[in-house]
């Protein structure tokens, strides 16, 4: 019975069991630690987690004692074990951004969102692997190596937050945190059959997070359900004086996402389908078919589906509009220069000189050294970025739609050793608009993917429309019931 209670437990159900005395926080943490030992360190060896919190059980005991004493939860995420991407500062655990150049370094203070998680009663269970410095989307790092996809061990879990994605999909933690510069929360959500949220820029603080591009960076949840993702977003959102961009959310109500009553219909809602984000070649057809079926679910729920034929090229957005490589040197240096003297490196130049990084990011690091903020090329990209923001708002207005959908990735997540191709998440990254990725379905089963390879549908909205997007996502989730479990990480006996 206990085994059934613990499997893929939601935040809401866990809190019900915790308050009733049917389940303790210690029992839950022990469950996840057993699964980590069985599936991350052995068995399929997913290689998702860089390090575990050695005090997790101690923290669980303290929470159990507090709940027994008061009969109340200690916060909105009371006792919830969190998988935290290892570019988010933790004052009691190393923060490496996946790089050997930062091995052994523990920050003096938590990131703002780490403080928010702890204040809400969460337990940081583990720090997850990422594509080193969040630079690419395959989740390979010098500090841990390649993370594998629990649905197909020959494929990557997406990235850069693929360690978080693989761990949550494999039920090695209850909720996860990733960061997203171009695709990096939504890519592993799509590839691992999860719900991922990229919030409006300014909703979630980046202070204490190793940056890639503060123009585009944000943090967001990766969870198994929309409700869990909404609960995490509530906790990590809010104004932080150390991140001036969050001043934009100071007057926004960000504490009621999971309180919304799920809708039973989408009647009256107009949802656009961005046709230019669907591929036209043979390698795209399986993704197209799965996402088309997901869109048919929205239609069955009463939504009016509106074709959007404006040509938007995601490849052009990545290559010619995104400022990620232009920001990297300056913004990473800002973070590194503030580290205490005991930190092993204090600049991108020192990282390169150390040689302590994965060979796969060498070219990007060297390219970043050639760019800087404020140059004519950089400013031209910012002008294009502004034009794309206005163009996207015009698309919403012209078609009178409340949200727009498309496949997050036009073809299946890549195999180990390959590179992700034709991801569409860049549209929200360069504009700062919010989006939610939900599981759309799976490819046809194969020898390496017995349950099929997950495929995600992205739902985007105007700035600060998270509550609407979550309502659409949760209504879709209940009807679609996309629930194939990872075949290589079954329930433990």
pLDDT digits (tens, 9 = 90+) for 357-408: 999 999 999 999 999 999 999 999 999 999 999 999 999 999 999 999 999 9
Residue 253 confidence class, pLDDT cut points 50, 70, 90 = confident
Q: Are 287 and 409 in contact (CB under 8 A)?
A: yes
All residues at 6 or more sequence positions from 472 whose CB lies less than 8 Å from its CB, including other chains: 266, 269, 271, 298, 402, 403, 436, 459
Give the per-residue pLDDT at 424: 98
Give the per-residue pLDDT at 488: 98
Average pLDDT over residues 137-141: 98
pLDDT in tens, 254-278: 666 765 546 567 999 999 999 999 9
Mean pLDDT score of the chain = 96
Give the per-residue pLDDT at 316: 97
Residue 3 confidence class, pLDDT cut points 50, 70, 90 = low
Average pLDDT over residues 454-472: 96
Q: Are 222 and 194 in contact (CB under 8 A)?
A: yes
Does the pTM of the predicted model rise above 0.75? yes
CA torsion through residues 209, 239, 230, 215, sign: negative
Distances in Å between the alpha carbon of 84 and those of 238, 321, 336?
19, 29, 20
pLDDT in tens, 25-76: 999 999 999 999 999 999 999 999 999 999 999 999 999 999 999 999 999 9
3-state secondary structure of 245: helix
pLDDT in tens, 207-233: 999 999 999 999 999 999 999 999 999
Least Cα distance to 166 among 491, 489, 492 occurs for 489
What burial class does residue 341 get, using C-beta atoms within 10 Å of its C-beta: 0-12 exposed, 13-18 middle, 19+ buried?
exposed
Average pLDDT over residues 10-20: 97
pLDDT in tens, 286-309: 999 999 999 999 999 999 999 999
Separation between Cα atoms, residue 377 and residue 332, nearest integer Å: 19
Q: Which residues are catalytic?
A: 85, 160, 184
Q: Are 347 and 336 in contact (CB under 8 A)?
A: yes
């Amino acid at each position: 019975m206990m085994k059934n209670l613990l499997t893929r437990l939601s935040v809401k159900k866990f809190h019900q069991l915790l308050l009733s005395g049917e389940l303790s926080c210690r029992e839950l943490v022990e469950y996840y630690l057993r699964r980590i030992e069985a599936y991350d360190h052995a068995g399929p060896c997913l290689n998702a987690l860089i390090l575990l919190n050695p005090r997790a059980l101690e923290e669980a005991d303290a929470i159990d004692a507090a709940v027994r004493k008061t009969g109340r939860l200690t916060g909105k995420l009371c006792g919830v074990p969190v998988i935290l991407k290892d570019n988010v500062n933790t004052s009691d655990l190393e923060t490496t951004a996946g790089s050997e150049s930062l091995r052994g370094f523990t920050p003096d203070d938590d990131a703002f969102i780490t403080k928010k998680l702890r204040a809400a009663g969460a337990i940081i269970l583990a720090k997850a692997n990422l594509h080193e410095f969040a630079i690419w989307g395959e989740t390979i790092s010098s500090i841990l190596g390649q993370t594998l996809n629990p649905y197909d061990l020959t494929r990557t879990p997406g990235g850069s937050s693929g360690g978080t994605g693989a761990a949550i999909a494999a039920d090695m933690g209850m909720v996860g945190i990733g960061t997203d510069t171009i695709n990096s929360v939504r890519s592993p959500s799509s590839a691992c059959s999860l719900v991922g949220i990229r919030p409006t820029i300014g909703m979630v603080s980046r202070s204490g997070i190793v940056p890639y591009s503060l123009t585009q960076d944000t943090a967001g949840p990766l969870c198994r359900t929309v409700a869990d993702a909404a609960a995490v977003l509530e906790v990590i959102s809010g104004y932080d004086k150390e991140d001036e961009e969050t001043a934009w959310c100071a007057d926004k109500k960000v504490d009621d996402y999971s309180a919304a009553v799920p809708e039973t219909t989408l009647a009256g809602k107009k949802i656009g389908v961005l046709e230019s984000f669907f591929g036209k070649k043979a390698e795209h057809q399986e993704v197209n078919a799965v996402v088309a079926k997901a869109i048919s679910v929205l239609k069955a729920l009463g939504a009016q589906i509106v074709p959007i034929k404006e040509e938007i090229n995601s490849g052009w957005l990545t290559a010619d509009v995104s400022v990620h490589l232009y920001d990297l040197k300056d913004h990473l240096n800002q973070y590194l220069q503030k580290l205490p003297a005991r930190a092993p490196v204090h600049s991108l130049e020192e990282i390169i000189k150390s040689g302590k990084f994965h060979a796969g990011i060498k070219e990007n690091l060297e390219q970043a050294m050639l760019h800087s903020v404020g140059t004519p090329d950089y400013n031209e990209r910012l002008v294009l970025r502004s034009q794309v923001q206005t163009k996207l708002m015009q698309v919403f207005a012209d078609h009178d739609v409340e949200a727009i959908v498309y496949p997050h990735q036009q073809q299946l997540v890549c195999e180990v050793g390959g590179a992700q191709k034709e991801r569409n998440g860049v549209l929200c990254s360069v504009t700062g608009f919010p989006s939610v990725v939900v599981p759309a379905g799976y490819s046809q089963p194969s020898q390496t993917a017995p349950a099929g390879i997950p495929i995600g549908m992205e739902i985007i909205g105007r700035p600060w429309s998270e509550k609407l997007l979550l309502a659409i996502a949760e209504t879709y989730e209940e009807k679609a019931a996309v629930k194939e479990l990872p075949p290589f990480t079954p329930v433990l006996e």
